[in-house]
Amino acid sequence: MRISLGWLKKLISLSEGASAQQIAKLLTGLGLEVDSTVPVEWNCSRVVVGQIISAVQHSNADRLRVCQVSVGDRAEGGVPLQIVCGAPNARAGIKVAVALVGAKLPGGVEIKAAKLRGEESCGMLCSCDELRLNSSFSVEHGIIELAPDAPVGEDLAKYLGLPDTELEIEFTPNRGDCLSILGIAREIVAAESSVQWTEFGKKLLALMPPTGVLQAHDLVQVEVPELAPHYCLAKLKVNGRLATPDWMKMALISAGMRPVNLLVDITNYVMMEMGQPLHAFDAKKVNTPIVVRLNRSQETNLELLNHQTIELQPNSLVIADSTGPLALAGVMGGLSSAVSLDTDLIFLESAFFQREKISREVQGYSLSTDSSYRFERGVDYLLPPLAMQRAIDLFTTLAEGEVQAVQIAAAHEHLPVVSPFELNWARVVDMLGEDFVSMQEAQAILARLSVKVEQLEYGRFRLTPPSYRFDLQIEEDAIEEIARVVGYNKLAVEPIEAELSYQHLRGHSRDLNRLGDRLVSLGYSEAISYSFVDAKLQSQLGLDAKQLELANPIYHDSNVLRCSLWSGFLPLVQRNLQRSNEQLRLFELGRVFMRDSQAEASREGKARIRQPYHLAGVLTGDYAPKQWGEQVRAIDLYDLKNDLECVLDLGEEELDCREAALKGLHPGRAAQIYLKDQPIGYLGQLHPSLQEFLHLKQPVWLWEIDVEELFKIGARTCVNQEPSKYPKMVRDLALLVPCEICWQELKEMMRVSDGIPLVKVTPFDIYRGAELPEGYYGIAVRLLFRSKSETLTDQEVEAWIAQILDGLAQRAIKLRQ
């Protein structure tokens, strides 16, 4: 919300020296954060209020008029000035802004006496643009038209209250009471004992509800007093054709509002001034009585003031007449009963609506207005009749207003209850520390905030907050009040004294960090991608069965939650390849989301959702950058296996890979990863057809593991085995193996007997070629024998080799000659 310092100064006596920065600092320190202070500059001199006495057509120019302009007694010797003007709205009688000869305007323009096509011109009639005034102050194409009561001859800046400063304030939702000039003024007066209310400010505070013979009982019927416990309606005769005074226009503009017409402007002005939203109905467009009720039929459409038509929902709170709803209560009025220049009789509404009801309407219709914004945050429930009196005063003075009847419908049993609460001084000291404020000062602070303070016994108080402070309900609220008025930065600072704790070591956060560290050592960079992904891509990966859809995605291609980290990776690979980052090795550690199909079938029948941490990698391009001293080669599955063996901390174990089919992976190059016979993830090459579909110009490799499963299985247990003292024996064999036998099988076949101390079998060369018998591949294997109890002899080893070869021969595996 924006407020002007000038407006604030009408209510409180800020010293002349008080700069906008000081006020901003004060308010920010009180919790009303001033985002910015915007100076409303006035860079003109010798511009005064004038009145056009006559305006005649220039004899030599179609578009010019020759005006005689009065600028008062004091200026220019009291003689009317002749000024030539080209504005279409220059006409006799109107009050205008006159730049006198010698005036300086923004942009360095200096006004001189001149002849325009033969006619003398001693000054200039100005437009908003020329004076750098907000364009909504006066008609868009032409010179400024001031209100008829503008005093001729007065300095325009003084008349308009310029220069001024506007403060842009960001309010927290608990401070509905500050959404007005009055509210801000109250805060400043409470915090700064040197600031006093002005006479006008005191008058505002002393307003009384409208009284007298005009009390009516038949203007309004409140059917739902629990939702509208305080509803005031006044019937007023007015003159809608009168102009809004310039000070009011300037005030509205300073608050970021656009002047509309006098009747609307008065209601907006009172809302900004006192915080009470008001609404004026054109009484001649309403069939009395007015009823405050819930909407009955669902079909009713209501065309609102902003020309938007809403379909009213049943149980919406509406203001209706005998023909149907006129307004959405507390949110916006309807167009059919809107006031206009022709209006001469109005119903003026000033009400308190239940906060939650207005919040429901705002959400239900996705409609927020200055009015609903205030009602949601809480308007003083005692304010409606007082603000109504203020508006009546303004209508009377400015719009020839005359009250015909007033009805105040108050359902006291439904008004919010202000409950007193206790404050213990010991608690204040416990929370805020000692020595920053005395108990007496704290009492005084609360009293200045209009909190009623009663001492029950020494150090124990009963507090009763004022009706506008919905946020003061418990002891802690009062402690905050004391703290913020004293100033948070003056409060105590005390070191924490607490038990030592090793709780950190119990969680998984360290383990997660370690996984990341291992991958970084392996050359992977960490990616963090969005948790929401494209449903189509996820289903192409074959992962769509369990995916969860968002009700309100921010982008159409981010409409489901990822159930695999791969669905977030592929767009990253695309983007990086587009940017010529052709060699990629990324990992991500994050949660994925899926429906748990097993739990869903369980007896509860209730869908359960899993959100485990997954760890995944994506690799593409060469194994290493092209460089001196190294052969270039592409990444393959065996690189992934090594990475996973490191990540999973398998020690000297090999990764347990078993053949698997997954829609998104190459059928011949995919595997499921097992740890202690539990499946924990997948690895493989992205399916070439998907690679092509995504326009990826090179093969992409992926792996992913379920970290939750990994942690469940637990860390590898390490038990020392004394290393053998005896020498090892190494033998190499070149074998011819039928193609259908894989390494895993071959390896197991070689372990023919537990009696043979075969410690390790390693393949060190694999070849396929036409010179081999058909259906065979060649493999060179190194066997390592080592006993823990004795030195092996050549004869023993030869015998074992023969035994192994015998076993292999049964599966048609033979030695290569």
Partner 1 sequence: MEEMSLEAANLVAVVTEELESIDKLPQLDVLKSKYLGKQGLLTDKLRGLSSLPPEQRSAMGAQLNDIKQQLFALFTTKESAIKEQAVIASLAADKIDITLPARCAMRGHLHPISKMRRMLEEFFVCMGFAVVDGPELEDDFHNFTALNTPPYHPARSMHDTFYLKDDELTLRSQTSSVQIRALETMDLPLRVVCPGRVFRRDSDATHSPMFHQMELLMVDRKASFAQLRWLIFKFVEYLFGADIECRFRPSYFPFTEPSAEVDIKWHNADGSARWLELGGCGMVHPNVLRYANVSPKEYHGFAFGFGLDRLAMVYYDISDIRRLYENDAEFLAQF
Segment 682-721, which members bind partner 1 (CB under 8 A)? none
Residue 506 binds to partner 1 (criterion: CB under 8 A) = yes
Q: Residue 324 has which token pair? A: 């149907």
Closest approach of partner 1 to the CB of residue 584, in Å: 6
The answer to whether 349 touches 281, Cβ cutoff 8 Å, is: yes
Residue 625 binds to partner 1 (criterion: CB under 8 A) = yes
Nearer to partner 1, 623 or 743 (CB): 623
Closest approach of partner 1 to the CB of residue 722, in Å: 35
Closest approach of partner 1 to the CB of residue 522, in Å: 6
Task: Pick one of 82, 261, 529, 787: the residue that binds partner 1 (CB under 8 A).
Answer: 529
Residue 501 binds to partner 1 (criterion: CB under 8 A) = yes
Element containing residue 130 per DSSP (H, E): helix 128-131
Residue 37 binds to partner 1 (criterion: CB under 8 A) = no
Task: Pick one of 504, 556, 626, 697: the residue that binds partner 1 (CB under 8 A).
Answer: 504
Interface segment toward partner 1; rule CB under 8 A; list 94-102, 124-132, 626-634, 654-662: 626-634
Secondary structure (DSSP) of 560-583: EE-SSTHHHHHHHHHHHHHTT--S
Q: Residue 104 has which token pair? A: 């300086």
Task: Pick one of 479, 541, 702, 756: the residue that binds partner 1 (CB under 8 A).
Answer: 479
H runs (alpha helix) in 595-687: 597-600, 637-647
Q: Residue 541 has which token pair? A: 């990966």
User: Dmax over Cα atoms in the chain, in whole Å?
Assistant: 135
Closest approach of partner 1 to the CB of residue 636, in Å: 14
Residue 764 binds to partner 1 (criterion: CB under 8 A) = no
Q: Residue 215 has which token pair? A: 């009390």
Closest approach of partner 1 to the CB of residue 749, in Å: 34
The answer to whether 561 touches 550, Cβ cutoff 8 Å, is: yes
Residue 507 binds to partner 1 (criterion: CB under 8 A) = yes
Closest approach of partner 1 to the CB of residue 22, in Å: 15
Interface segment toward partner 1; rule CB under 8 A; list 59-67, 244-252, 500-508, 740-748: 500-508
Task: Pick one of 499, 604, 652, 794: the residue that binds partner 1 (CB under 8 A).
Answer: 499
Site string for partner 1, 532-571 (x = CB under 8 A): x---------------xxxxxxx---x--x----------
Q: List 170's β-bridge partners, or say none.
A: 33
Strands (E), 62-214: 65-70, 81-85, 95-105, 109-110, 114-116, 119-121, 124-125, 164-170
Q: Which of 88, 79, 85 is nearest to 99 (CA)?
A: 85
Contacts (Cβ under 8 Å, ≥6 apart) of 199:
none
Nearer to partner 1, 439 or 792 (CB): 439
Round to whole Å and give the CA distance between 154 and 739. Answer: 105
Task: Pick one of 598, 627, 720, 817: the residue that binds partner 1 (CB under 8 A).
Answer: 627
Nearer to partner 1, 151 or 173 (CB): 173
Return the residues of window 790-809 that contact partner 1 according to CB under 8 A. none
Q: Residue 650 has which token pair? A: 């398998």
Residue 597 binds to partner 1 (criterion: CB under 8 A) = no
Closest approach of partner 1 to the CB of residue 530, in Å: 5
Angle between helices 181-191 and 20-30 (to 10 degrees): 80
Element containing residue 23 per DSSP (H, E): helix 20-30
Interface segment toward partner 1; rule CB under 8 A; list 139-147, 393-401, 468-476, 683-691: 468-476
Round to whole Å and give the CA distance between 618 and 583. Answer: 11
Return the residues of window 363-402 that contact partner 1 according to CB under 8 A. 363, 376-377
Closest approach of partner 1 to the CB of residue 475, in Å: 8
The answer to whether 797 touches 791, Cβ cutoff 8 Å, is: no
Closest approach of partner 1 to the CB of residue 243, in Å: 37
| CA 697 to mean position of chain CA atoms | 39
Q: Could you tell me how many residues of this chain bind partner 1 (CB under 8 A)?
A: 95
Residue 629 binds to partner 1 (criterion: CB under 8 A) = yes
Return the residues of window 145-184 that contact partner 1 according to CB under 8 A. 172-175
Task: Pick one of 121, 576, 685, 691: the residue that binds partner 1 (CB under 8 A).
Answer: 576
| CA 119 to mean position of chain CA atoms | 60
Residue 575 binds to partner 1 (criterion: CB under 8 A) = yes
Return the residues of window 334-353 that contact partner 1 according to CB under 8 A. none
Task: Pick one of 31, 123, 275, 334: the residue that binds partner 1 (CB under 8 A).
Answer: 31
Interface segment toward partner 1; rule CB under 8 A; list 303-311, 329-337, 387-395, 512-520: 512-520
Closest approach of partner 1 to the CB of residue 631, in Å: 12
Element containing residue 595 per DSSP (H, E): strand 594-595
Secondary structure (DSSP) of 727-773: PPEEEEEEEEEETT--HHHHHHHH---TTS-EEEEEEEEEE--TTSP
Secondary structure (DSSP) of 370-426: HHHHHHHH---TTHHHHHHHHHHHHHHHHS--EEEEEEEEE-GGGSPP---EEEEHH
Nearer to partner 1, 607 or 730 (CB): 607
Task: Pick one of 527, 648, 737, 746: the residue that binds partner 1 (CB under 8 A).
Answer: 527
Round to whole Å and give the CA distance between 277 and 219. Answer: 20
Q: Which of 269, 245, 249 is nearest to 259 (CA)?
A: 249
Residue 488 binds to partner 1 (criterion: CB under 8 A) = yes
Q: Which of 410, 412, 390 is nearest to 401 (CA)?
A: 390
Q: Residue 78 class from Cβ within 10 Å (0-12 exposed, 13-18 middle, 19+ buried)?
A: exposed
Nearer to partner 1, 35 or 73 (CB): 35
Site string for partner 1, 577-596 (x = CB under 8 A): --x-x-xxxx---xx-x---
Residue 359 binds to partner 1 (criterion: CB under 8 A) = yes
Closest approach of partner 1 to the CB of residue 612, in Å: 10
CA dihedral over 144, 147, 151, 152, signed as positive or negative: positive
Return the residues of window 419-458 that contact partner 1 according to CB under 8 A. 430-433
Q: Which of 132, 133, 134, 112 is nearest to 124 (CA)?
A: 112
Nearer to partner 1, 550 or 713 (CB): 550
Closest approach of partner 1 to the CB of residue 516, in Å: 6
Closest approach of partner 1 to the CB of residue 7, in Å: 24
